Structure 1
Amino acid sequence: MRIAVDLNRCQGYAQCAYLAHKDFRLTGQEALTYEPNPDDERRLQVERAAAACPVQAIVIDRLDGAKGSATS
């Protein structure tokens, strides 16, 4: 699994950090850092975090040929 976050779209709501704190972190007030290749065992948390993003800034590439976002 691979994660991409559109940092221009991200508004720092931190819903992703709350739901998948091992993969998404806020540094300072609004700077998001994230693990671009999280373990597959955390897939459910990452997908929930992406779905919770109010501005849909997180895209998940499932590495099986299918691409998805929070809404797929």
Structure 2
Amino acid sequence: MRVTVDMAKCENHGQCAIAAPAVFEINDDGNLVYDGNPVDSERGDTLAAADVCPAQAIIVEEN
């Protein structure tokens, strides 16, 4: 699985960090950082994070 975030759309709401904290994080500067290649065990949470993103900025692709 590959994850990308359209940073032009991302508004740093942080819903993804709540849904999948092992993959997404809001850093100390208030900006999103993420793991673009999460482990398979994070698949469910990662897909949930993409669903809850208010800006629909998260793209999940299968390898």
Taking structure 2 as the reference length, the TM-score comes to: 0.94
- Tell me the C-alpha RMSD between the 2 structures: 0.9
Q: Deviations over 1:11-54 (max 9, x none)?
A: 01100000100100001353100000000111000000000000
SS at match of 1:4: strand
Rg larger for: 1
Structure 1 stretches of 4+ moved >3 Å = none
Counterparts of 1:14-25 in structure 2, within 5 Å, are: 14-25=14-25
Q: Count how many residue pairs are aligned between Structure 1 and Structure 2.
A: 63
Residue in structure 1 matched with residue 56 of structure 2 by the alignment: 56
SS at match of 2:49: helix
For residues 54 and 30 of structure 1, the distance between their equivalents in structure 2, rounded to whole angstroms, comes to 17
| 1:3 to 2:23 alignment | no
Residue in structure 1 matched with residue 40 of structure 2 by the alignment: 40
Taking structure 1 as the reference length, the TM-score comes to: 0.83
Higher relative contact order (CA 8 A, sep 6+): 2
Q: Percent identity?
A: 37
* Runs (5+) with no aligned partner, structure 1: 64-72
Larger strand percent: 1
